[in-house]
Amino acid sequence: MDNTRWRSRRLDRLGSAIFAEVAAWKAEARREGKDVIALDIGSPDQPPSLQARETLAAAALRPDAYRYPGTEGTIRFRETVARWFGRRFGVAPDPAEEVLSLMGTQDGLAHLAMSIADPGDAALLPDPGYPVYQAGLAVADVEAIPLPLSEDNGYLPDFDAVPEAVWDRVKFLILNYPSNPLSAVADLAFFERAVDTARRRNVLLVHDNAYSEMAYDGFRPPSVLEVPGAFEVAVEFHSLSKSFHLAGGRLGFAVGNREALSSLRALKNNIDFGVFLAVQEAGIAALEMDMAGHESVSLLYEKRRDVFVAGLRNAGWNVPSPKATMFLWAPVPAGWSSRQFSREMLAQAGVASIPGNAFGVRGEGYVRLALVETESRLTEAAERIGTFLRSAEPKQGETMV
């Protein structure tokens, strides 16, 4: 039987298959009776606030909640986003033209290329970077050009190193700070350089700011839209999935250049009818609570970070302590490939991670670990990993890809 008859070739360009492979590894380990501590997928283990859940429940009982909600989001949701954005970043977008609701940021990022670029155009993507960036380009038949990120430069790109011939072909540029998977951060001075580059090169600057509210040690991630004139050349994506634990609700928003958002809205008008009204009400409640000064989820993840990093260092693995996000980007010990180390750590220690090369060629040599378990489970994970590190050796001859 031809197993490719009903399969588009573009699916082969969507990105790494490692996520599915790690899921299969976990299933195999569980079938063997192993207690798996799943630190691979960044899915919050905590629910949204009680107020957000109560708002969701009450809104879901309203008889008018089940009509088509509209792609752009309710005006009440967009006005709340605009107020929150103004309070958080000091800039006030127009809720009518400069705010767009999304079914999570992945929705907007995946559809962006189809709405602002044509087949044959090119875009610069961070390497390592979140796989949906590549997937959106593959579906749109837009060429992905890696923007190298290295630890030596704090995982910030060197715009001047991009050849002139590349800039001539690029339609847009994606940045992501705080970064998934790198947990790298950027200051406002960096975004000033990025906005200046976008203006000079006549490209759209796309900033994925999904982790803006998950930062530690007093650091407050900026918005690219704080830079004067940024609305002329930039759009920014935000998510309520991680910062407000609404991951399953699928709610996010884009803010910024009205022409780019109009194009994204036009595409989405043809393929979806927006986010469930009750979920938008829950999002409004979450944003209003944040503006009222309720405790941020950052405190929860900062404690988890401290516990896990200390445990891993005590176990002999000197991992960096991130300033933001829910991830550790950890170098694998000498002699291992990312995939081999991740596979064996799960098989022997029962701790799941994502190999770094799932995020791009330059991710080789690292694994990503998510802080999505309790402090006690993270302590246990660190102890298991320590035992694994003391006893395991790379298997000679095994594929190191």
Query: pLDDT, tens digit, for every residue of 322-357?
Result: 999 999 999 999 999 999 999 999 999 999 999 999
397 assigned to some structural domain:
no
Burial (CB count <10 Å: 0-12, 13-18, 19+), residue 141: middle
Residue 400 inside a domain? The answer is no
Last residue of a domain, one of 261, 291, 321: 291
Place of tokens 């609305």: 231
The H helix count followed by the E strand count for the chain is 12, 12
Say if 156 falls within a structural domain.
yes
HSE at residue 120, side-chain half, CA atoms within 13 A, is 0
Same domain, 327 and 384: yes
Please state whether 399 falls in left (phi above 0), alpha (psi between -120 and 50) or beta.
beta
Give me the CATH number covering residue 99. Answer: 3.40.640.10
| Domain co-membership, 141 together with 260 | yes
**Number of C-alpha atoms within 13 angstroms, CB side, residue 6?**
1
Quick check: is 3 in a domain?
no
What is the distance, to the nearest Å, from the Cα of residue 308 to the centroid of all Cα atoms in its chain?
21
pLDDT at 5: 81
Identify any residues that bridge with 206 across adjacent strands, giving them in sequence order: 174, 235
Pair 356, 279 in one domain: no
- pLDDT of res. 295: 85
Is residue 226 located within the same domain as residue 263?
A: yes
Alpha carbon distance 200, 222 (integer Å)? 22
Residue type, 343: R
Q: How is residue 160 written in tokens?
A: 């001047």
User: In the chain, which stretches have pLDDT less than 50?
Assistant: 397-401
Domain membership of residue 250 as a residue range: 50-291
Q: Which of 193, 380, 237, 199 is nearest to 304 (CA)?
A: 380
Gap between the Cα atoms of 216 and 325, Å rounded? 9
Overall domain count for the chain = 2
Decide if 306 is inside a domain: yes
Task: Assess whether 229 and 374 both reside in one domain.
Answer: no
- Residue 226 DSSP SS3: helix
Q: Are residues 31 and 177 in the same domain?
A: no
Beta carbons within 8 Å of 217's beta carbon, 6+ residues apart: 302, 323
Query: Residue 294: phi, psi to the nearest 5?
Result: -65, 155
Structure tokens at 268: 């989405």
Instruction: Say how far residue 117 (Cα) sits from the centre of its chain.
Output: 22
352-395 pLDDT per residue, tens: 999 999 999 999 999 999 999 999 999 999 999 999 999 988 76
Q: CA 101 to CA 70: how far, in whole Å?
A: 9
pLDDT at residue 310, rounded to an integer? 98
What is the model's pLDDT at position 6? 87
Looking at residue 337, which CATH number applies to its domain?
3.90.1150.10
Name the domain boundary from 264, 291, 318: 291
Reduce the DSSP state of residue 381 to 3 states and report it: helix
Instruction: Using a pLDDT cut of 70, give the percent of the chain over it.
Output: 97
Q: Where does residue 250 fall: left (phi above 0), alpha (psi -120 to 50 degrees), or beta otherwise?
A: left
Q: Name the DSSP letter for residue 44.
A: -
Any idea what the Cα angle at residue 31 is, between residues 25 and 37, rounded to 5°? 60
Residue 190 lies in a domain: yes
273 and 181 share one domain: yes
Query: What Cα–Cα distance (Å) separates residue 208 from each residue in 4, 12, 319?
Result: 34, 24, 25
Is 152 found in the same domain as 16? no
Q: Are residues 95 and 216 in the same domain?
A: yes
Q: And the tokens for 162?
A: 């991009």
Q: Find the angle CA(277)-CA(282)-CA(283) to the nearest 5 degrees.
A: 95
Indicate if 87 and 21 belong to the same structural domain.
no
Helix (H) / strand (E) containing 148:
strand 143-148
Domain boundary among 251, 268, 291: 291
Do both 372 and 227 map to the same domain? no
- Beta-bridged to residue 143, according to DSSP, are 122
- Three-state SS for 47? coil
**CB of 349 closer than 8 Å to CB of 361:** no
The torsion angles phi and psi of 310, rounded to 5 degrees, stand at -65, -40
Residue 296: which of 212, 373, 170, 376 has the closest Cα?
A: 212
Question: CA–CA separation, 282 vs 77, rounded Å?
Answer: 10
Please report whether residue 398 resides in a domain.
no
Q: What is the DSSP letter of 46?
A: S
CB 149 within 8 Å of CB 159 = no
Residue 100, domain member (yes or no): yes
Residues 237 and 125 reside in one and the same domain = yes
